[in-house]
Every structure is written in C-alpha cells, then in structure tokens.
Amino acid sequence: MQNNSQHNFTEENKSKLRLWKQKAEALYIQKWCLKWKFACYFYLKQQLIAIRTAASILIQKRIRGWLVRKAVKPILIKKIIKWEHGGQTVLVFGTFTNSPWVEPIPMLFNKYLSYHISTILSDKTILPGDYLVKFQIDGEWKCNGNLPISIDEKGNYNNVLIVIRKTKRLHRSMRLRSISHDVFTNESIVISNKNSPILFTRSCMSSGPPNKLDLYNSVPNREVKLVMGRFMAAKPRSKVSEKIESADAYFFNTKLQVFAIADGVSEWDEYGIKASDFSRELIKNLHECISEKTIDKDSLEQDICTAYNIVKSYGSSTILAGVCKDSMLHTISLGDSGYMVLRPKEFSKGLMIVYKSSAQQHSFNCPYQLTHLPNEQDYESLINSGYNLLINLLKQRNRSYDSIVDSVQEIIPLRNGDIIIAATDGLYDNLYDQDIVTITERHYIKHTSENLANLLPKILVHEALKKSWDNTYRSPFSRNAAKVGKKFIGGKLDDITVLVLVAVSYLE
C-alpha cells in the first residue's frame, strides 16, 4: 500500500510539472509574439514617417520652385545684364544710354537668382549694336570677367555688350564679327560662368567716365611671369602595341611668355593625309611669327593668321594660344582644346578653379578647327596620286570652314601662385575637373614652381591614359555622349598634350 501511494504521488507531481511547463511555454510564446508585433508596428511607423517627410519635402520643393519660376520668368524672357560678384550698391554705365557714361543704371539684387540684374536693354528697347559698359561696385570701377573685354586707345578696359536682333541663323561662312570681342547668339546677352574672375581695371578709382580715364601713361604691372612645362603622349593602338605618332603639336617660349597647342584631326590618316603634318607646320610657323611685339590677344591673333596663311600641308587642327603680359593672360582658343586657371585658397592649402575655357563644337565630338584642303584645280593631280577617297569627300562637303575670327578670346588677370593647365581634349575627356584639382593639390605644395611645371604634366597625362583604357569608367566624354543620345561607356582613346604654366613673381 505504501508503494502505491508513493507511485500516485509521483505521477501527480509529474502531471503538475507538465502543466507548469506548458503554461511557461505559452507565456514565452505570447511574450515574443507581442515583441514581434511591436517591432513590426514600430518599423511600419518609422517607414510611414520617412515617406511622409520625403513627401512633404518634395511638395515644398515643387511649390517653392513654382513660386521662384513665377517670380523670375518675367525677368528671364527679357535681355538682362548680370553682375554675379557681390557688392551692396551696383551701378552700370555704358554707351547705350542717352548720355553715354553719365547716366547711372541701378542694378537690383534678385533674391531668387542671387545676383544683381538690370533689364534696361529690354525696358528701353535698345537698338541692336555693340555697346561698351562698365560696372561701379560700391564706388569702385570694375569689369565683369563673364563678359567680353575690349581695350580702348588709352589702355582702359571696358566690357562689351552685343545686342542682336533675333533672325534666322546664317551660314557659317557668312558670319562676321569684330576680332576684338565675341558675338553671342543667345538672347540673354551675358553667358554666366560662376568660375570666371572679376577683372579689375588699372587704378579706376577716379569718378570720371570709364573711357575717359587717362591710364595710357600708367606704369605697367610686372608682378608675375610664367614658368612652363609640358608632356605629350600619343594614342596607342592597343595596350601592348607600340604607340602611333601623335597628331598634336605644341611650343612654348618662356622668354616671350607665349605658348600654343594644336590638336590635329587623326581621321585624315584614313584619306591618305598625314594628320600630324598640318598641326606641326602650323605650330612651327606660329613659333617663327612670334616676336617681342606679341603682347596681347590682338597681336597673337595676327600671328596665328600669318602662320595659317603660309601652311602648305593639308589637314585640320584646333588651336589654343596664349601670351602673358603685365600679369594679364591673353588667350585665343578655337575648338575643344582648353585651359583652366587654379588659384590657391586664402585660408586653406587647397586650390580652386577661378576660370575654365569652354569648348567650341558644331555638334558632339565635332569641334571648330582651322582647315587647309586642296583647291578644285588640284583634284586631277591628286586623283592620279591615289587620293580618290579624299577627293570624293571634298566633292560632297560644304566648302565653308572655320576661321580664327570664330575663336574665343579672353583676358585673365593672374596672381602669384596661379597654375594654368592647358591641354588638348584628350585630358578633359578622361578626367573630371575635380580630379585634375585633386591631383594638382597633391603636388603643388611639395615642389617648387619649376619642378611642378615639369612634373605635373606627366602625372596628368598618365592618369588620363589609365582612365582611357577603363571600359567601365563613366568618363566626361561618355557623359557628354549620353546627353546627345549616344551610348558610350569608358574613357576616350586620344592623343594627350598637357602644358602646365605656373605664375611666379619676377623677383623669384
């Protein structure tokens, strides 16, 4: 009997223990189910908050953008004069007023555009023509680096505005313009470039009219000169093959402070014309034409015209040339070779882009260029010499070509420490501007000006070549191709020529 009672007691305990375990498991499952539900609710809540926040920001942006466009649209449809370089009181004077250089035109600050504007060209229906203007910023006379600049007979700098009548586009061979400044074919008069520097006139603190200031006898500003270096690489056929001959050509003259780059069109090789002959002969002739009289963009342009007119080789090429005089860099550019001016920042060790030239292209990858091709009376002799493809091409093409008067001409004031990187399109098609700045920042502090001018071109060329062989790299060239609907991924194989010019003090 005792054994039976003990057995019953044990079974009863086991039954209670199983019941207790089942309750514990049920409570555990309920606890974690509640935690899971709470976590799901919290995650869903966070997602809803994020969606609501994003939607509210988007709605605010759209509404704000609509308000800005509504406020700015009446202004943008007019021809406006812009001043984007700050200042409290901004006035513009010019020859377009009834009393030239006397009547001040206030420029109002537009909070939506964040710069000063004047719509006087539309408000007073200024007739088409060329006008000289200058800006007065808080009582100080200044020129706008975003506008063409003209120098009068007394050596004064004035901006140039060209007011045009909207007409049908003329054939390129019929376009004419003044050699001393550019003609803009857009309606806005001013081409905005936030990186463009302000050009200060010489001692223009006088209250007299800008073109009447007697600056002709002022002492030239001889603060800086250019230290120059270069490196060139030809386009390789493949990674393992020998490099072909480059179609680029260049020269620089440190004594005369002049440089030039010509980028020959390699496609002429397919028609039996050696692409490098034209660019090399053009640069050789230009180097021989350069003299101590080459002191500004006008004399440099005349030298380019002289050099081009005596070229005998057939072909075509872009041209970029510059001369430094009295701390002013005068440049002429036709095509897609370009340059940028880097300047040390005031409160850091970095560099900033204060100016970059723009490429001239008729269409994507079709730049402006100087061209010399056979005349019709030479066709028969060339056919006999085996140039059938070339003659067939010439018969199909329009006979109008680009001229040096189609070039972009700039005047850039230089400071001690400025770095000018001039190069053919092979550099800028493979490296972004920020990449060039970053590479330059790594070396400009470690080296002297002369060493930097000799070392940096080689580094930039090798980096651009490395990118040109990367088939997965989204290069600047591929981005530009995408803008016109062309599919292109990777770098662009091309000849690359880089000149680096460092502005240093004459005392160094």
| pLDDT for the residue 398 | 57
pLDDT-derived band at 193, boundaries 50, 70, 90: very low
Bridge partners, residue 250, by sequence: 261
Q: Which H or E run contains 338? A: strand 338-344
Q: Would you say residue 187 has pLDDT above 50?
A: no
| pLDDT for the residue 507 | 57
Q: Would you say residue 420 has pLDDT above 60?
A: yes
Bridge partners, residue 325, by sequence: 328
| pLDDT for the residue 170 | 34
Q: In Å, how far from its chain's centre is CA 232?
A: 21
Please indicate whether residue 172 or residue 286 has the higher confidence score (pLDDT). 286
Q: Which pair of structure tokens corresponds to residue 272?
A: 């039996």
| pLDDT for the residue 279 | 94
Q: In Å, how far from its chain's centre is CA 384?
A: 46
Q: Which pair of structure tokens corresponds to residue 476?
A: 């600047």
| pLDDT for the residue 9 | 61
Least confident of 36-45, 135-144, 153-162, 232-241: 232-241
| pLDDT for the residue 215 | 28
Q: Which is nearest to 315 in space by CA: 272, 284, 346?
A: 272
In this structure, what DSSP letter does residue 236 have?
Answer: B
| pLDDT for the residue 289 | 94
| pLDDT for the residue 243 | 52
Q: What is the DSSP string of 389-451?
A: HHHHHHHHS-S----GGGSEEEEEE--TT-EEEEE-HHHHTTS-HHHHHHHHHHHHTTS-HHH
| pLDDT for the residue 228 | 96
What is the rounded CA–CA span in Å between residue 324 and residue 222? 10
Please indicate whether residue 237 or residue 120 has the higher confidence score (pLDDT). 120
Predicted model pTM: 0.60
In this structure, what DSSP letter does residue 375 have?
Answer: -
How many other C-beta atoms lie within 10 A of the C-beta of residue 499? 26
Is residue 75 a contact partner of residue 86, using CB atoms and an 8 Å limit?
Answer: no
Q: Which is nearest to 226 in space by CA: 491, 438, 11, 422?
A: 422
Q: What is the DSSP string of 155-204?
A: S-EEEEEEE----PPPPGGG----TTS----STTSS---TTPPPBPPTTT
Give the side-chain half-sphere CA count within 13 A for 32. Answer: 5
pLDDT-derived band at 248, boundaries 50, 70, 90: very high
Q: What is the pLDDT of residues 301-324, one digit of tens each?
A: 999 999 999 999 999 999 999 999
What is the rounded CA–CA span in Å between residue 501 and residue 418? 8
Q: Would you say residue 207 has pLDDT above 60?
A: no
Q: Which is nearest to 324 in space by CA: 254, 261, 263?
A: 254
Q: Would you say residue 240 has pLDDT above 50?
A: no
Q: Would you say residue 158 has pLDDT above 70?
A: yes
Q: Would you say residue 171 has pLDDT above 70?
A: no
Q: Which pair of structure tokens corresponds to residue 213?
A: 């200031």
Please indicate whether residue 407 or residue 148 has the higher confidence score (pLDDT). 407
Q: Phi/psi of residue 12, each to 5°?
A: -65, -40
User: CB-based contacts of 497: which residues, under 8 Å, 6+ apart?
Assistant: 230, 231, 232, 233, 246, 248, 250, 261, 263, 423, 424, 426, 461
What is the rounded CA–CA span in Å between residue 320 and residue 506? 25
What is the rounded CA–CA span in Å between residue 457 and residue 345? 22
| pLDDT for the residue 400 | 60
| pLDDT for the residue 319 | 96
How many other C-beta atoms lie within 10 A of the C-beta of residue 184? 16
Q: Would you say residue 209 has pLDDT above 70?
A: no
Mean pLDDT of the chain: 79
| pLDDT for the residue 35 | 80
pLDDT-derived band at 165, boundaries 50, 70, 90: low
Q: What is the pLDDT of residues 447-485, one digit of tens each?
A: 899 999 999 999 999 999 999 888 889 899 998 888 888
Q: Which H or E run contains 283? A: helix 275-289
Averaged pLDDT for residues 281-293: 94
